Amino acid sequence: PPLHVYVSGGHVEVQPGKVIVLADLGLRSENLDDARARAAREAAASPMATELTDPDNAKVHAELALQRLQQLRSLPFK
């Protein structure tokens, strides 16, 4: 069966017989939550999302990125 994955950021290489994905974030479709996705989209559109010049905001975003990476590492990808 096909594997459906939401990917954000990074690169995708498509070749006959295989696809290589190097992404900042990847979530299997069965792990997606519509309500959380909508809330994340609204948060990303807020003015706070673009204020990475403030060191405190940059630190929070870096910590969130590390948490996402740890979540991805725990997924059983083959």
Tens-place pLDDT, residues 1-39 = 788 888 888 888 999 988 898 998 888 888 888 888 788
Domain chopping of the chain, boundaries: 5-73
Q: Which of 72, 12, 5 is nearest to 32 (CA)?
A: 5
Around 25, how many Cα atoms within 13 Å sit in the side-chain half-sphere? Answer: 12
What is the pLDDT at residue 47?
A: 66
Give 59-74 pLDDT, tens digit per residue.
887 888 888 888 888 8
Predicted confidence (pLDDT) per residue in 46-55, tens digit = 766 556 556 7
pLDDT at 53: 59
Token pair for 4? 């459906």
CB within 8 A of 9, min separation 6: which ones?
Answer: 23, 24, 25
